[in-house]
Structure 1
Amino acid sequence: MARSGFVYSPVQAKAVFAHFMVGNAANFSLSDWETDIRLARDAHIDAFALNIGNGTFANTTSLSHAFSAANNLGAAFKLFFSFDYAGNGDWDKEDVIDLLNEYGTDAAYYKVGSQPFVSTFEGPHCAEDWIEIKKETNCYFVPSWSSLGAKAAVEAGPVDGLFSWGAWPEGPNNMNTQVDASYLYFLEKKAYMMPVSPWFFTNMPSYHKNWLWRGDDLWHDRWQQVQFFQPDFVEIISWNDFGESHYIGPTHSSEYTTFALGKSPYNYADSMPHDGWRLFLPYLIDTYKNGIASITEEGLVTWHRLQPASSCTTGNTTGNAASELQSKYAPSEIVQDRIFYSALLASDATVTVTIGGVVQSGSWEHVPADGVGIYHGSVPFNDNLGDVVVRVWRNSEIVVEVRGATLNTACTDDIENWNAFVSADSSGKTMDDPVQPSLPISQQVCVDGFGLDDDAGLCSFACSFGCCPVGTCTCTALGPQPAYPQEPPQHHVCPGSSTGNNFGGTLLDLCDFTCNLGHCPDACPNSTTTSSSGAPAQGIPTQINSSPAETGTSNDRQKNLATRCTYTSMLWILPLVTYLYSYWL
């Protein structure tokens, strides 16, 4: 079975963008723009999505500098507009048309074919404007109308695709892909731009923003999900949004005005670099685009918070959005007191973590299928304080070492900083012969995954055997097709594999696959019947041993899937409404 098998064709060569807050760069010189563009280009990012608010005073100068810088550097790195309808009110359609016609033909403007690419942050109530805007500019339109959910957003206006803002998990959970699956389902052959973000913490009282969502393993996990989904586009949230702590670009003191405007109790981005999160982007992006990438130098990235979660006051920060629209948690229930690390390695190695001189043997929670690629893991603080040093070892020699920040209990004004400190380094040894994984992504399948609630046991088992239907399960690792414990009858196939869409139809369809491999958990309808080999088997439902066609028509299963996708497409609406509420007040 193919890795994901989605039936639509990419609109063009895949691309990765980074969300860039132009308002934060109001004081940027031409040289500043050139510096950031070089860094993004070196990370193999294709373009900045320039978030611009309506009527922002710095737009004219900032856009002129941005396009001049990109052209000065050869225009290989591109830019495009993401019109922000939440930050400073609605855009007038004539202003949108004027900006697109002014810059859309620029050599540095990102295009799909000959069409200038354009996105938004919200604005679905202005959807009808885009009928005329598209007519006047011939733009390729991929908005983020996430406040509607996927189904309503597709139906709202003349979109060529959609961008989801659902980049963070809810509550004390790791990220799943159900919202992504809903977008793919309702978009059909239109383009999907998948969000990727490493972190989220904000404390800006004047914007009514003071909450966090779980980061922790997110940067690693989300790129694994990208490799499985293979979306048309990926947008990283963000390059320079310091107020929400998900920046991967360099920190500039000139961009810190957001903390004064937000009346933050302290600057929680100052001296908190995130540059290390870019170190493996060339490998990750090349794998996403080309199906395979080469390792020329091994490296290590680590990240952690500066204080244990109970060290200081919370600063009134909540886990999840600070509104009754999303269940609230104490921040300590969301974040984990752990040192996180990822290593890009050409072969197996071990890892140790030292905190204040106390050495812990680390472990890898994710190991690439054939030992070539990105390894990932973490260790707990274990009440230790002091300097953090992470080392990767092979044959009793250090391959690469990274020194993080010092774990301590000293907080600014006794308020916990929920932001992350990121460190990274390469081994310093360039390989004579670059190393690649043995199989490209197109020849790999899911080999690990999880589901939610009643689907959990089913998904864990099915995904480990290459069957991870995206409407139900979340894939967390790829590899060669594992051998089945027993061959199922021909008609008992992975849900979606016969049609090539890999969405799956119902819980019963997934039970049909797993039960005939000998795994029939309580979530499946329970009865005693005969196994696929003809021998008595306890707990395999009678209907499971029938052809799927006998357990409901394909239209029934399609309706069930549509209902599930409609529900999951709504999962991000409540937290996003809260997120937007902070802008509208």
Structure 2
Amino acid sequence: MSLAKEAHIDAFALNMAYGVQTNEQSVTNAFTMAENLGFHLFFSFDYAGNGAWPKAQVISMLQKYAPSSAYYRHDEKPFVSTFEGTENADDWIAIKNQTGCFFVPDWSSVAANSALELAGGVVDGLFSWAAWPTDSRRMTTYVDAAYLQCLGDVGKPYMMPASPWFYTNMPGYDKNFVCHGDDLWYDRWVEVSFLNPEWVEIISWNDYGESHYIGPLNEKGYGVFTAGKAPYNYARGMPHDGWRLQLPYLIDLYKKGTASVTEESLVVWYRTQPRISCGEGNTTGFTAQLQVEEDADTWIADKLFFSALLASNASVRVSIGGDEKDTKWEFEPDGGVGVYHGSFDYDSKHLGETTVTILRNGKETVSVKGRSLTKECTGDLANLNAWVGSSTSVSTIDSVSPELSLSEQTCIEGAGSSNFTELCEFTCKYGYCPLGTCYCTAMGAPKEKPKATKDKGYPKNGDDSYEGLCSFACYYGFCPKKLCSETKASSTTSHPAPTACGKGHCTHTDTNNGLQRPLPSFDALFGLYLLIFSVLVFNTYQGE
């Protein structure tokens, strides 16, 4: 909890499966510690890991622990979430009546509009489990857009998920897949700044079985690998602490609209084996419903990924096996202050010790020496978990902040799916990046728009989804004939991503009934010594 506070995290979600004998003692210990540290906790009842929670048991736990000074409250009400539980939605009418709780569940197995209607609209907000891409491309905000649209229509808040990675190989739970991670930790925080949700829940603090932990490694949590019949322990020796290093800046930026760089730092992450050097143990890249599963090696890249928090521009150099090469940033913060991000492809024929170094005026600013890249396998298998390293510069700097607050910034770079890519790349660059059709990949000072030609623009095929894009782009002289027309066609509707108010997440298909359901975190059930924590930060920034 002390480490979480240092990272500017506000609360832990205590994810609990029903019927685990250690729940009571673990919860009691957690609240005692949180009260002593001035930290916050809230319950997330897991209805998937070990079946549904009885209504009376939920009420009892809330009545016992909600009065604690450590229990997180929203609008003076004890905050409660779930992992699934749609079939027990009606229980929450009585639970809310008897506890006065503020209820924000994850009911991602149904569409957002359907979740809002369950039990007569019992929810006070919704949490989405869609923290990972469902294909081999980078993370988008289409699912977030669907939730924001549906919730916005009824004036209810959204809890946005963020996660750095996802790999699991547990035949005992019928889970063996990897989600496309790579640049995810950087991308998601850009998206958080753009969307500005009410809360962000980071998945997770200590879920070793799904490889998305940002907390320290703990031998007491490794029982999950035995229980899940994993072929090996893919968390041991693979620290993720570095992913917390820049959180104070990222969280302050989200919560306050601005943040200060008080020390410069570098975070580096990568898989330690080339994707073709070892067997993958039948691991697949996991997809959304009705998509064909793909081999894992089509989802993951042989790259080093790095993010640097800097007070001003600097260059980056990568060394692998003693071979040094200068590389370029993929993203640089507008104005020079903030998080820089890039990656470096490596050749499986040239491996060895890795070092990433940030230089300014030819002198080293900060450097991370990482684990060696190797073709050595673990029982003939590749570890698809990430190794994460980090370092802080020994040189002191004067505190510096971005020149503009988030409310003064706009989208300056974006993308879209399918036919929307070309239009979104143009319109997002000039601040028009509509949710549901485009997604923003960088923010900064508003750019001067091209000279307006004032041309009329309409979707060539009548698709309403293009209407705003064609209108904006054609007005400023960019009017691709294959997509936009000067005359209005008959109206149709299609969507490039999950439909508005839809569902979408790293999922599996329930072969018994064909329904798409989120993958349960069984670690809470079998983590005999530890509760599984996700972490929460809440928004205090309303703009200017």
TM-score scaled by length of structure 2 = 0.90
> Which residue of structure 1 aligns with residue 205 of structure 2?
239
> Which residue of structure 2 aligns with residue 170 of structure 1?
134
TM-score scaled by length of structure 1 = 0.83
Verify: 1:405 aligned to 2:386, yes or no. no
CA displacement at 1:328 relative to structure 2: 1.0
Cα gap change, 1:172/1:563 in structure 2, threshold over 3 Å: closer, same or farther?
Answer: closer
Cα gap change, 1:581/1:190 in structure 2, threshold over 3 Å: closer, same or farther?
Answer: closer
Of 165, 173, 180, which aligns to 2:144?
180
**Partners of 1:562 and 1:339 in 2: how far apart?**
34
Runs of 4+ residues over 6 Å off in structure 1: 490-493, 561-565, 581-584
| Counterpart contact for 1:171–1:327, Cα < 8 Å | no
CA displacement at 1:261 relative to structure 2: 0.3
Q: Could you say what secondary structure the match of 1:87 adopts?
A: coil
Verify: 1:315 aligned to 2:277, yes or no. no
Cα gap change, 1:573/1:284 in structure 2, threshold over 3 Å: closer, same or farther?
Answer: closer
Query: What are the residue-to-residue correspondences of 1:387-406 with 2, within 5 Å?
Result: 387-406=353-372
| Counterpart contact for 2:473–2:479, Cα < 8 Å | yes
Q: Could you say what secondary structure the match of 2:309 adopts?
A: strand
> Which residue of structure 2 aligns with residue 519 of structure 1?
478
> Which residue of structure 1 aligns with residue 62 of structure 2?
100
> Which residue of structure 2 aligns with residue 57 of structure 1?
21
| Counterpart contact for 1:151–1:566, Cα < 8 Å | no
**Partners of 1:210 and 1:520 in 2: how far apart?**
45
Q: Could you say what secondary structure the match of 1:48 adopts?
A: strand
| Counterpart contact for 1:508–1:524, Cα < 8 Å | no
**Partners of 1:100 and 1:490 in 2: how far apart?**
60
Letter in 2 for 1:144: D
Of 119, 126, 141, which aligns to 2:81?
119
**Partners of 1:523 and 1:275 in 2: how far apart?**
48
| Counterpart contact for 2:128–2:159, Cα < 8 Å | yes
Of 169, 193, 208, which aligns to 2:159?
193
> Which residue of structure 2 aligns with residue 70 of structure 1?
34
Letter in 1 for 2:487: T
**Partners of 2:46 and 2:74 in 1: how far apart?**
21
**Partners of 2:21 and 2:179 in 1: how far apart?**
32
Letter in 2 for 1:152: S
Verify: 1:572 aligned to 2:544, yes or no. no
Verify: 1:277 aligned to 2:243, yes or no. yes
Query: What are the residue-to-residue correspondences of 1:418-429 with 2, within 5 Å?
Result: 418-429=384-395
**Partners of 1:523 and 1:418 in 2: how far apart?**
41
Verify: 1:472 aligned to 2:472, yes or no. no
**Partners of 2:521 and 2:410 in 1: how far apart?**
41
**Partners of 1:561 and 1:106 in 2: how far apart?**
49
> Which residue of structure 2 aligns with residue 109 of structure 1?
71
Q: Could you say what secondary structure the match of 2:375 adopts?
A: coil
**Partners of 1:213 and 1:194 in 2: how far apart?**
18
Verify: 1:484 aligned to 2:429, yes or no. no
**Partners of 1:277 and 1:285 in 2: how far apart?**
13
Residues 179-219 of structure 1: CA distance to partner in whole angstroms, max 9, x if unpaired? 00000000112010000000000000000000000110000
| Counterpart contact for 1:387–1:406, Cα < 8 Å | yes
Query: What are the residue-to-residue correspondences of 1:204-283 with 2, within 5 Å?
Result: 204-283=170-249
Residues 411-453 of structure 1: CA distance to partner in whole angstroms, max 9, x if unpaired? 110101000000001002332x310000000000000010000
**Partners of 2:112 and 2:495 in 1: how far apart?**
11
| Counterpart contact for 2:149–2:501, Cα < 8 Å | no
CA displacement at 1:516 relative to structure 2: 1.4
| Counterpart contact for 2:353–2:373, Cα < 8 Å | yes
Verify: 1:509 aligned to 2:468, yes or no. yes
Letter in 1 for 2:504: L
Q: Could you say what secondary structure the match of 1:468 adopts?
A: coil
CA displacement at 1:566 relative to structure 2: 3.8
> Which residue of structure 2 aligns with residue 292 of structure 1?
258
CA displacement at 1:227 relative to structure 2: 0.2
Query: What are the residue-to-residue correspondences of 1:316-355 with 2, within 5 Å?
Result: 316-320=282-286, 325-355=290-320
Of 136, 153, 169, which aligns to 2:98?
136
Of 45, 52, 63, which aligns to 1:83?
45
**Partners of 2:435 and 2:289 in 1: how far apart?**
29
Residues 496-535 of structure 1: CA distance to partner in whole angstroms, max 9, x if unpaired? xxxxxxxx96312210110111112245244xxxxxxxxx
Identity across matched positions, percent: 49
| Counterpart contact for 2:40–2:71, Cα < 8 Å | yes
**Partners of 1:481 and 1:492 in 2: how far apart?**
23
**Partners of 2:319 and 2:129 in 1: how far apart?**
37
Verify: 1:44 aligned to 2:8, yes or no. yes
Cα gap change, 1:136/1:426 in structure 2, threshold over 3 Å: closer, same or farther?
Answer: same
Cα gap change, 1:86/1:223 in structure 2, threshold over 3 Å: closer, same or farther?
Answer: same
**Partners of 2:387 and 2:91 in 1: how far apart?**
42
CA displacement at 1:571 relative to structure 2: 3.4
Q: Could you say what secondary structure the match of 1:282 adopts?
A: helix
Residues 212-265 of structure 1: CA distance to partner in whole angstroms, max 9, x if unpaired? 001100000000000000000000001000000000000000110000000100
Q: Could you say what secondary structure the match of 2:187 adopts?
A: helix
CA displacement at 1:171 relative to structure 2: 1.8
Of 393, 414, 422, which aligns to 1:457?
422
| Counterpart contact for 1:402–1:425, Cα < 8 Å | yes
Q: Could you say what secondary structure the match of 1:569 adopts?
A: coil
Alignment RMSD, CA only?
A: 2.3
| Counterpart contact for 1:454–1:523, Cα < 8 Å | no
| Counterpart contact for 1:71–1:108, Cα < 8 Å | yes
> Which residue of structure 2 aligns with residue 9 of structure 1?
none
**Partners of 1:204 and 1:448 in 2: how far apart?**
39
> Which residue of structure 2 aligns with residue 529 of structure 1?
none
| Counterpart contact for 1:209–1:582, Cα < 8 Å | no
Residues 370-404 of structure 1: CA distance to partner in whole angstroms, max 9, x if unpaired? 00000000010123210010000001100001011
Cα gap change, 1:257/1:162 in structure 2, threshold over 3 Å: closer, same or farther?
Answer: same
| Counterpart contact for 1:118–1:141, Cα < 8 Å | yes
| Counterpart contact for 1:171–1:329, Cα < 8 Å | no
> Which residue of structure 2 aligns with residue 28 of structure 1?
none
Letter in 1 for 2:503: M
Cα gap change, 1:506/1:579 in structure 2, threshold over 3 Å: closer, same or farther?
Answer: closer
| Counterpart contact for 2:165–2:179, Cα < 8 Å | yes
**Partners of 1:292 and 1:361 in 2: how far apart?**
31
| Counterpart contact for 1:146–1:573, Cα < 8 Å | no
| Counterpart contact for 1:325–1:575, Cα < 8 Å | no
**Partners of 1:184 and 1:83 in 2: how far apart?**
23
> Which residue of structure 2 aligns with residue 159 of structure 1?
123
**Partners of 1:229 and 1:385 in 2: how far apart?**
40
Letter in 1 for 2:126: L
**Partners of 1:374 and 1:226 in 2: how far apart?**
14
**Partners of 1:301 and 1:289 in 2: how far apart?**
22
Task: Name the structure, 1 or 2, with higher relative contact order (CA <8 Å, separation 6+).
Answer: 2
| Counterpart contact for 1:193–1:234, Cα < 8 Å | yes
Moved more, 376-385 or 344-353: 376-385
| Counterpart contact for 1:150–1:566, Cα < 8 Å | no
> Which residue of structure 1 aligns with residue 412 of structure 2?
447
Residues 35-79 of structure 1: CA distance to partner in whole angstroms, max 9, x if unpaired? xx0000100000001000111111111001000001111x2x200
Q: Could you say what secondary structure the match of 1:94 adopts?
A: helix
Q: Could you say what secondary structure the match of 2:78 adopts?
A: strand
Q: Could you say what secondary structure the match of 2:148 adopts?
A: helix
**Partners of 1:303 and 1:366 in 2: how far apart?**
17
